[in-house]
Structure 1
């Protein structure tokens, strides 16, 4: 995996982390007590976008770029969500195909 990837996790429909986590050599930017709220906001955002699918089409992925970090999230089967955090310089057009390649392996 690209060393600029900091976190890979799978969230369930209730925004609980069910698999994955932070790379061992990487320090989290958010305090641990904020993780659940962040996951809930990602799931809520994804649900809002899915509500527009009948008009705008299916969501391929979501990308959020902040000054210190970037996030990509994709819908998986069974109402699960893949969340990936990475360094802010990572181009989503590069990382999305890489993520999808890992998903089919």
Structure 2
């Protein structure tokens, strides 16, 4: 059976070597290292970084679909986690908002 990390890489829908690098870096930013030993809790902790990394290459709807598929991988390990359905075709998906810029005092 493939590791959770390999399954997450497959969910990206990007070239495998490229997706592997993106997911590995996102895991490292969230303190999950090495990613080969990723647990369901590690994946949940890494999802914000994964979502951000995928947002560079995919549109917001695709990012939502990919991360929903990743969360579905661990649904069995987290029975209390609500199901994540893909967004409806007419549902608006907003891109993550940037941090507010500090006002200059000059």
Q: Same fold (TM over 0.5)?
A: no
Greater strand percent: which structure?
1
Larger radius of gyration between Structure 1 and Structure 2: 2
Name which structure has the greater RCO, CA cutoff 8 Å, separation 6+.
Answer: 1
